[in-house]
Chains A and B, each alone.
Chain A
Amino acid sequence: MKNRNLVSITDYSKEDISEILRLAHLFEQKTNQRILENKVIASLFFEPSTRTRLSFESAINRLSGRVIGFSEAGSSSVSKGESLKDTIKTVANYSDLIIMRHPLEGSAKYAGEVSDVPVINAGDGANQHPTQTLLDLYSIYKTQGTLENLNIFLIGDLKYGRTVHSLLMAMSKYNPVFNFISHKKLRIPDEYKMFLHDLNIKYYEHTEFTDIISRADIMYMTRVQKERFSDPIEYEKTKDIYILRNNMLTDTKDNLKILHPLPRVNEINEDVDKNEKAYYFEQAKNGVYTRQAIISAILGLKPENN
């Protein structure tokens, strides 16, 4: 992984993923280290994403690295009409690694091509967000003790949700069974069903949110976004169908954990938060360790407790 860009989750093999999970575990045990001393990391957020940015910056700061960059395009030279290429080439001169969030799809791959330092994709439009996927994998691994042979339920917006698509691709390496629960307008796209079919991975599609969830090892909830619907009435009807409430969890498995990439709107009722199966806030915390693992792997640095 050293010096390689991380643009898409498909850039990492099963072995790469195992190494990231191993490193993340070490950073969880010893979160504050000095291994990024003398390193300057650029954090270029061409669109705001406070949660992802703070998670990265916390990961870097806890490893004694320094961060330069901007949190929205308005405060960068983009507002003067500079091309992405020129911005990246310039910033590559000032830093050891670039973390980039950009509204256009494919921008991270392009940045990786023009940059002299490695690039980590922190989200390129609706395309990829691989560090989210890796922290999801770490959360699954940590709570289940394995990534193999799990029954994964993906619920909510399965059509547009990029976290869902990347997680599906990544988990497909580990012999899962998938259950998809969504409104018929937000079903998982055919290309992903074909992908699963080609790999002989079982999947089931549901439009009802029923006690079928008693089979789940992992429930991955996503937000149904208002802007996906042209008809606001349709949105209002849809968003309330797939709400997870605490009383629905009575007959679920003991090892079940509920994940959500956050922010949530109303798809997980707040009464679930107290249930020990709710894992979304710990999941966000795991993001810091996972990002520490990714950054150190790309810079070729070992944790002090390795």
Chain B
Amino acid sequence: MNKEKKLLVSAIKNGTVIDHIPAKDLFKVIKILGLDKARQPITFGSNLVSRKIGKKAVIKISGVYFEDKDLNRIALISENVRLNVIKNYEVVEKKQVKVPERIIGIAKCVNPKCITNHENITTKFTVINKDVISLKCEYCEKITDKKHIKII
């Protein structure tokens, strides 16, 4: 299994590996972490077989280490995503994403009458339920639940 993965998405010397991303959410994760604007080498694979989640995606970013607060934004999409910090081809740290207390600037408020959907404002939410993710807009106070979360 390990060998097969290395063949599909080649190993990196230093950087971050983001694994167990649900395949359908790959591009959302890329957007959330701003990888579409990154200058470092990035390799990724999608629709790889995962016994746990069916089809998964993997992203490997060379030379970049993320802060927890950035990585935890991924929890909005999937709590199962795993991260490996790689130094000199070795996994030196394994992390699981955690749902943060506040979500700043990545989700859209579900309320069409919310000011954030009419002016150029960075959205802010308080996470009111971490199990089934539920966000309370700090502007209009309306709740955006997991199935209505849209990534900006």
Q: Say what secondary structure dominates the interface of chain B.
A: loop
B119 x A109 contact (CB < 8 A)? no
B139 x A103 contact (CB < 8 A)? no
Given A105-B141, A105-B142, A128-B141, A85–B114 Cβ distance below 8 Å? Answer: no
B141 x A127 contact (CB < 8 A)? yes
Minimum distance in angstroms from B79 CB to a CB of chain A: 24
B113 x A126 contact (CB < 8 A)? yes
Interface size counted on chain A using CB atoms at 8 A: 18
B interface residue count range (under 10 / 10 to 19 / 20 to 34 / 35 or more): 10 to 19
A109 x B139 contact (CB < 8 A)? yes
Give per-residue flags for A95-119: 1 if the beta carbon is below 8 A from chain B beta carbons, else 0.
0000000111111011000000000
Given A103-B113, A107-B115, A125-B113, A83–B120 Cβ distance below 8 Å? Answer: yes
Residue of B nearest to A191 (CB): B143
Please provide the chain A residues from 102 to 154 with a CB less than 8 Å away from any CB of chain B in the complex. 102-107, 109-110, 124-128
B111 close to chain A: CB less than 8 A: yes
Which residues of the partner chain A approach B37 to less than 8 Å between Cβ atoms?
Answer: none
A106 x B141 contact (CB < 8 A)? yes
B120 x A106 contact (CB < 8 A)? no
Residue of B nearest to A165 (CB): B141
Minimum distance in angstroms from B116 CB to a CB of chain A: 6
Q: Which of A85, A126, A128 contacts B119 (CB 8 A)?
A: A85
A84 close to chain B: CB less than 8 A: yes
Which residues of the partner chain B approach A107 to less than 8 Å between Cβ atoms?
Answer: 115, 139
Q: Which of B114, B120, B141, B143 contacts A104 (CB 8 A)?
A: B114
In whole angstroms, what is the CA distance A109 to B123 when docked? 12
Q: Which of A83, A84, A106 contacts B114 (CB 8 A)?
A: A106
B113 x A110 contact (CB < 8 A)? no
Please provide the chain B residues from 134 to 148 with a CB less than 8 Å away from any CB of chain A in the complex. 137-143
A8 close to chain B: CB less than 8 A: yes
Residues on B lying within 8 angstroms of A by beta carbon are: 109, 111, 113-116, 118-121, 137-143
For the complex of A and B, the 8 pairs showing the least CB-CB separation, nearest first, are A106-B139, A105-B140, A106-B140, A106-B115, A107-B115, A104-B115, A110-B115, A105-B113
